[in-house]
Structures are given as structure tokens and as C-alpha cells.
DNA sequence: CGTAGTTACGTACACCGTACGTAGTGCGGT
DNA sequence: ACCGCACTACGTACGGTGTACGTAACTACG
């Protein structure tokens, strides 16, 4: 489609091909895949129109035939990642199914560390996001609750998983832009934090750090959090 | 401090004044306040080194005497916002205190809509963030649990509030960069969503939208979520 | 009192998103 | 069959970004 002017539009409502004119050299999936490849390898900030175009092997401005704004490129990326969600036949135990949903989402985000940063309710209605949402609702069929409650459960679980993975990956992703290593960054921050705690102004934090001397078990923390969210919605 | 080369460093460990040389024209707080003013008025994307410098009334590069990287400017902003957290004497009812914490954080983020986007565990150890964390732990003194559990509670509540407010504000903040209005954006997305649902491919989503015809009560949803998180950590 | 370390800041570079103009291509309507 | 138009492709250009670097003025310490 042409529509060169600035017009409110959802990328999913725009047809990929209109029949008139030369056939496009790439599909939307090609473009999303190229952007995802770059983001996976070099981080989200490396996803520029120029880079994606170069990865595809076309001129920068040709991209704008497929994607009216960079924002829409992000939307394609999120949907492409959502396509990796594996859906299964719900087994009747909604708690088990939700656990599986949470774990799978976490794995997806660890595979694509840029995903948490792009998560937005605005992108929540892309084709694959809709499939995913419908699947979650199907998993929740055995739960006796209003759809409103079920949607709140899904939102809370998804939000928790996103926040969790983001925190887990944040330093690693952030440090890409920095001229020093993640270890150096952590070391210098820990040294500062140690100094603050030693100042005596934060007795409870000091006690907390005394208590948990060893490295924290991320898996266990995640599993506990999932269980807590699920419990919060279980009847009784 | 000079340190022109790229050296790992925490902004809070760097002294504001070293004695030698002309006295700086601004304090760190001046700079943070200027950046916050711009972000509040024009959105986070308007916070550029040039804009902030202009707001202060100095040359762009002078800012780099106070803040080695833009990243650190963000850190100052988050800390400045954290300074607005009002701390109180914990009243002995940790559930009530945590409710108050959650509501206050939400209000803070609605006052500074850019805050959710900047929330990061990396910024979690700024001076005011430390005060806030210690205060939360103090509120949790009556709760009989390990400090590890208390920290998990605080993280989950904070994360939930952040996610919630972000979702609430996302379209509004995003639409600043778009050449059309928030209403147009919403209208066009709702039209698309309506079409998808009408397609019959998502029966449960269709049922969900049938159920909740009216506009959702954001306050009630938030309060329910807070209560659920608190309940998830309450003994028994 | 000299000098080293600081502040101030203009210039310059590489990169970004994207508006716009132009050329070529192939389907739809006549 | 063919004309015209809607489309694809893409180079150029503009206004913006973060920040490396060079230079000049200033002040506290040895």
C-alpha cells in the first residue's frame, strides 16, 4: 500500500500485497526475521532501519514500503517472537498449564533478550499474541471464574514473568552500550553498595545481606513467584 | 572529577566537588531537576543532553562535567523521583503499610509517566532507593519471614505496580512520537481488534468481551492486584 | 607563585529516523 | 492490446542524537 502521508493505521490491517505494481521482493516475515536476527546477535539498539535493510540486502528506504514507521518494525518483531510460542491441548489442570505457560514465556524471553523491553499492551493484539491469549484462556477453562478474572490472572502472570526476566537480563543488555564489561560494572556497583551498607544507615538491608551470603538461586526464585501468582487466583 | 577516559564508575561514588578548579555552576540536583522538568512536560524522549543543557542555560558539553554518560543522567532522574517518596513511621500492620507503599508508588509514577520506562534493578541502589528499600523492610518487621522472602515481596509488589502503571500510560506516552492523536490510535486499534474477534477464531476472547461491555474500573483492578500480591505472602 | 587539575564549551563525527523526488514495473480497466 | 496508474525501489537530504576532543579560563595546593 502507498499511503505516504501520516495516517493512523494498524500494520496487521494493511494487506501485504495489493496486486498492482511489481511484486515485493520480501515478505513481512522476511523483514521481521532479519530484525530479530540483528536484535538477537547485537542487541535491540542495533536494530536500525539501515541495518535491517542491509541485512535484507536492499536500500534503506525500501523498507518503508513494508513498514510505515520503525515502531511497526518492533511490532513485527514481537509478533515473530510470539510465533515461537508452542501451544498444546490443555490438560484439564489449569495450574499445571499456567506453570507451563510461564516457564515457556521465560524461555522465549531468554532466547530473545530484547523482548521484555518491547513488551507493551499495544502489541498485545498481534495475530500470534491473539492466538496465545486464546490458548491461555482455553487452559483456564477448568477454573471457575469470570473472564475478567482470568484476564487479570494472565496479565499478572505475564507481567511478572516479563519483569522477572527483564531484571535478570537488564545489566547484560545495558552493558552492551558501555565501553567496559559486565563484570567490571557489577564489581564497581557491588563495591559501592557494600560501602553504603557498611555505613550503618541501613540496618535491615545489612541484616538481609548477612542472611543471604551465597549466590541466589534464580530458578527457585522464579518458580516461587509463579506459584504465588497462581495461588493468588486459586479458589479458597 | 575529570576521568575523561572510559572507566567503570558509579555516579554516586563520584564526589560532586573536588576543591580544585572553578566551583561548578550547578549541583547534581539542579541537573536532575532540569531533566525531570523536561521529561514531565515533553516526555522522556525529549530528554537530550542538548535540551537539558539549554534548560539549565549552559553549553551542551558542560553537562559532561557532571554526568559522564547520558545513562547516568537517567540514574539521577530516577533518584530525584525517589526523593518524592514520603516515608512514615510503620504502624505495626504490615499489610496496611504495604498497601500504602503500593498506592504511593503508583501516584509517583502517574506524576512522572517516564518513571516506569526507566525502572531497572540497576538503578535500585541510588541513595533514595536505598532509603525507600530500608523503609519497606521496616514496614515488614511485623511479618515473620526471612529477609529473602521480604525482599521477594517488595520486588513483586514494586514490579506489579510498575507493570500496571506502564500499561496504563503506555499508549499515552507512545503517542507523543506519533503524528496523530491517542484517540485516533485507539479507535483504529479497536476497530481492528473488533474485526478479529468477529472472525470467530477466538471464541473465548469474544465471550470475554461480551462479558465486560462497559469501561473497566482501573482503580478496582489495581486494588485487587495489590491485595492478591499481599495475600500471596501472608502466612496461612 | 607556579602548576596541576578542574570547569566551560565550541567544533566535529558518526549515526539515527524519515520526508521527498524520481525511475521503473506490471496489473486492471477499457 | 494497450494505456495509465498504483505500486516497488532507492538515492539524497534534513534535523536530530550522544559524545570524543581541543582549547581557554580559573583556583586551590605544594
pLDDT digits (tens, 9 = 90+) for A68-93: 999 999 999 999 999 999 999 999 99
Asked if B76 and B131 sit in the same domain, the reply is no
Lowest mean pLDDT among A226-230, B12-16, B116-120: B12-16
- Whether the per-residue pLDDT at B2 is higher than 70: the answer is no
Please compute, for residue B18, the number of CA atoms within 13 A of its CA located in the half-sphere on the CB side. Answer: 9
All three cell numbers of B170, joined, read: 503506555
In chain A, residues with a C-beta closer than 8 Å to the C-beta of B232 are 228-229, 231-232
- Whether the per-residue pLDDT at A145 is higher than 90: the answer is yes
CATH number, domain at B28?
1.10.10.60
Binned at pLDDT 50, 70 and 90, residue A18 comes out as confident
Asked if A97 and A214 sit in the same domain, the reply is yes
All three cell numbers of B174, joined, read: 507512545
Asked if A47 and A119 sit in the same domain, the reply is no
DSSP single-letter state for residue A26? S
- Whether the per-residue pLDDT at A2 is higher than 70: the answer is no
CATH number, domain at A216?
1.10.357.10
Asked if the Cβ–Cβ distance from A185 to B8 is below 8 Å, we say yes
pLDDT for position B173:
86
Nearest-angstrom CA–CA distance, B153 and B151: 5
**Cβ within 8 Å of A, B 128-147:** 130, 133-134, 137-138, 141, 146-147
Asked if B41 and B143 sit in the same domain, the reply is no
A2: in domain:
no
Distance of B42 CA from D6 C1′ (whole Å): 39
| DSSP sequence for B131-144 | HHHHHHHHHTTTS-
B75: in domain:
yes
- Whether the per-residue pLDDT at B46 is higher than 80: the answer is yes
Asked if B127 and B198 sit in the same domain, the reply is yes
Among B55, B187, B38, CA closest to B113: B38
B122 at A interface, C-beta within 8 A: yes
A3: in domain:
no
Asked if B163 and B72 sit in the same domain, the reply is no
Q: Into how many domains does chain A fold?
A: 2
Q: What is the pLDDT of residues B126-137, one digit of tens each?
A: 999 999 999 999
Asked if A49 and A142 sit in the same domain, the reply is no
Decide: residue B160, CB within 10 A, 0-12 exposed, 13-18 middle, 19+ buried. buried
Q: What is the pLDDT of residues A177-221, one digit of tens each?
A: 888 888 999 999 999 999 999 999 999 999 999 997 778 899 999
A4: in domain:
no
DSSP single-letter state for residue B85? P
A27: in domain:
yes
- Whether the per-residue pLDDT at B21 is higher than 90: the answer is no
State residue A113 phi and psi, 5-degree precision.
-60, -15
Place of cell 540536583: B29
Asked if the Cβ–Cβ distance from A130 to B204 is below 8 Å, we say no
A186: in domain:
yes
Residue nearest to nucleotide D26 (CA to C1'): B22
Domain extent, residue B115, equals: 86-233
B40: in domain:
yes
pLDDT for position A3:
72
Percent of the residues in chain B that have a pLDDT greater than 70, as a whole number: 99
- Of A36, A62, A81, which one is at a domain's C-terminal end? A81
Asked if B144 and B190 sit in the same domain, the reply is yes
Asked if the Cβ–Cβ distance from B208 to A180 is below 8 Å, we say no
Asked if B27 and B127 sit in the same domain, the reply is no
Question: What are the CB-based long-range contacts (under 8 Å, 24+) for B159-162?
Answer: B159/A159, B159/A160, B159/A163, B159/A164, B159/A167, B160/A156, B160/A159, B160/A160, B160/A163, B160/B102, B160/B225, B160/B226, B160/B229, B161/B102, B161/B105, B161/B106, B161/B109, B161/B226, B162/A163, B162/B105, B162/B109, B162/B116, B162/B119
- Of A81, A104, A123, which one is at a domain's C-terminal end? A81
Mean pLDDT of A94-120: 97
Asked if B98 and B76 sit in the same domain, the reply is no
- Whether the per-residue pLDDT at B233 is higher than 80: the answer is yes
Asked if B160 and B215 sit in the same domain, the reply is yes
B2: in domain:
no
Nearest-angstrom CA–CA distance, A153 and B111: 27
- Of B81, B100, B131, which one is at a domain's C-terminal end? B81
Asked if A40 and A133 sit in the same domain, the reply is no
In chain B, residues with a C-beta closer than 8 Å to the C-beta of A121 are 167, 170-171
Contact B103, B161 (CB under 8 A): no
pLDDT for position A1:
58
Amino acid at each position: 500500500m502507498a499511503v505516504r502521508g501520516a495516517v493512523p493505521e494498524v500494520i496487521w490491517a494493511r494487506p501485504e500485497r495489493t496486486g498492482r505494481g511489481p511484486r515485493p521482493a520480501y515478505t513481512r516475515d522476511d523483514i521481521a526475521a532479519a530484525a530479530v536476527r540483528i536484535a538477537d546477535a547485537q542487541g535491540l539498539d542495533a536494530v536500525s532501519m539501515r541495518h535491517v535493510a542491509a541485512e535484507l540486502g536492499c536500500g534503506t528506504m525500501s523498507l518503508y514500503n513494508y513498514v510505515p514507521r520503525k515502531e511497526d518494525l518492533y511490532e513485527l518483531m514481537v509478533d515473530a517472537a510470539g510465533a515461537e510460542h508452542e501451544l498444546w491441548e490443555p490438560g484439564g489442570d489449569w495450574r499445571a498449564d499456567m506453570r507451563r505457560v510461564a516457564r515457556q514465556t521465560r524461555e522465549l524471553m531468554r532466547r530473545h533478550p530484547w523482548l521484555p523491553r518491547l513488551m507493551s499492551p499495544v502489541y498485545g493484539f498481534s495475530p500470534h499474541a491473539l492466538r496465545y491469549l486464546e490458548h491461555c484462556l482455553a487452559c483456564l477453562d477448568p477454573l471457575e471464574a469470570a473472564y475478567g478474572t482470568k484476564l487479570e490472572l494472565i496479565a499478572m502472570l505475564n507481567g511478572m514473568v516479563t519483569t522477572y526476566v527483564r531484571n535478570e537480563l537488564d545489566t547484560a543488555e545495558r552493558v552492551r552500550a558501555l565501553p567496559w564489561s559486565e563484570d567490571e560494572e557489577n564489581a564497581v556497583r557491588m563495591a559501592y553498595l557494600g560501602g553504603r551498607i557498611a555505613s550503618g544507615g541501613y540496618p535491615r538491608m545489612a541484616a538481609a545481606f548477612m542472611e543471604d551470603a551465597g549466590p541466589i538461586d534464580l530458578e527457585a526464585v522464579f518458580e516461587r513467584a509463579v506459584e504465588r501468582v497462581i495461588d493468588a487466583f486459586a479458589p479458597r
